[in-house]
Copies of this chain bind each other. A is one copy, B any other.
Amino acid sequence: MFVMCVRNILSRSAFTVTLKRHSWRRCSTSQTETVDQVTTLLQLCVDRFFVSPGHANVELFQRGLCCSYGPLGMELRRNLLDQWWYSVTRSGAQVFGINTLSSSSRETPTGGQGQLRIVECEQLKQRLGQKELSKGRLAEEVHMLLQRSPSMRTNLLQGALEQFVPSLELVNRKLPFGLAETGLCFQPTSLGFSEVTQTSLVWFCSPRTSSQWLDHWTRQRLKWWRKFALSPSDFSSNEVQQEELEQAASRGVRIIYNFPWGQEVLACVWSRGDAELLHIHKGDRSKLQHRDGRRSIPHVVSVTANMDRGAMAFLSNSLQQLKREESKQKLHQRKKNCQRVLKLHPVLVPIKVALNIGRGATVELRQICEGLLQEFLEAKISVWPGYLETLPTSMEQLNAKYDEMGVLFTIIIGENTLESGLLQVRSRDTTIKETMHISEIKNFLFRYISAADNI
């Protein structure tokens, strides 16, 4: 099954849609190695509960579209969206969150090309069943029904532009300010449509500053993506060529990730002028004017990102494959000769700590685990209750599994803990095992994650 997925990845047609004119970046690795790399990544994502199994679902995932996520993938994307939200709404700039509807009954300014509409099945079927209607009349009725049906949003820009006027009151008609939103968008594709989890910041500023703001947000965004990366150089930005600019835009910058199979667009920053804002508000300039410039209409800078592809990028970026040393390999000939660690950033990683029990009186050790679990949960540190698993596993297998899940620390509660309160903590990144007192562990983890957050 996975060989098929990888074949799809490598067919240029499926992946260059979003980035037509950019040259296909050749990696130094051979094509076979790339296939291996991608297969490994996707298989790991399914095995370790990031993505639900199934060929079609995994294909959505690798194409950077919204798919059915397992618990770990769901949590990763959630952390990513939270981080995006903090970085945008708590940056010191005047940014307000909004929430708009995902469907709309109004005409879109693009003239309705390729629109997705929600149709009530029974209604349409009733029309089709009317025997007395002529063919022409039938077509007309269906047309009308279609025209009245709400269309699904393809981006979050429309909603923010509509909310500009009430928001202007919020800031006493002073620029600049921004409206932030995250949510599902629906994009028509050749095979129907797909769902994408988008983030959007729509920034309203004076016309003469819009180009500076575009640069500001590009820098801020690129820095944000790189903050969580294991190899930041895989994230880059490039200016959009004049002939590729979206309608109404005067400048654009793309933020790009270098996947094993080539480059893909993660985010876009566009300087859009005032045309769309005027169009949405039917050219009513008086409603749109801010306090400082009597006649000028604000310009719009839009900052968007695809967070499904973002999650995929960080998974791809953080997967490290370490070849075992020769001597060790002989010792474990049955094992695969490759150790995989998902070195996700501490704030993004879905599970911060796993709790397991070693040798000793099971009932008592479990009680200690329950207590620690509760303590971690109250401190909002996500924890994996490994002590509930009753299948026998060697410590090596356990570590290999947790490394693939990206778990930051593995705690082993054993006989020693009952006697002296000491437990063993293994770090994912150093693989070093430390001994620590049970009373210190929560603060240790809390400080570790906070420190990583503030770098």
Contact = CB atoms under 8 A, between A and B. Distances in A.
Interface of A: 49, 52-53, 66-71, 73-75, 77-78, 86, 90, 92, 94, 96-103, 112-122, 124-125, 128-129, 133-135, 138-139, 142-143, 146, 149-152, 159, 162-163, 166-167, 170-172, 174, 184, 186, 188, 192-193, 195, 370, 373-374, 377-378, 380, 385, 388-391
Smallest CB-CB A-B distances: 4 pairs: A71-B96, A135-B135, A69-B99, A90-B377
A71 B53 CA distance: 38
B121 A118 contact: no
A281 to B, nearest CB: 13
Given A71-B96, A74-B99, 6 more contacts: A90-B378, A103-B193, A119-B119, A124-B142, A124-B146, A174-B388
A33 B119 CA distance: 41
B116 A117 contact: no
A52 B172 contact: no
A68 B162 CA distance: 10
Contacts of A163: 52, 68, 70
How often does this chain occur in the complex, in copies? 2
Given A124-B146, A166-B52, A98 B70 contact: yes
Given A121-B114, A121-B117, A99 B374 contact: no
**Taking chain A's interface residues, is the majority helix, strand, or loop, or is none over half, making it mixed?**
mixed
A386 to B, nearest CB: 11
Contacts of A139: 128-129, 138
Nearest to A151: B121
Given A101-B67, A377-B92, A128 B142 contact: yes
Contacts of A193: 103, 118, 120, 150
A163 to B, nearest CB: 6
A129 B146 CA distance: 14
Contacts of A146: 119, 121, 124-125
B389 A172 contact: yes
Nearest to A131: B135
Given A128-B139, A184-B102, A116 B114 contact: no
Nearest to A454: B378
Contacts of A70: 96, 98, 163, 166-167, 170
A167 B53 CA distance: 10
Contacts of A102: 184, 195
B120 A114 contact: yes
B116 A391 contact: no
A163 B68 CA distance: 9
Given A112-B121, A120-B116, A101 B68 contact: yes
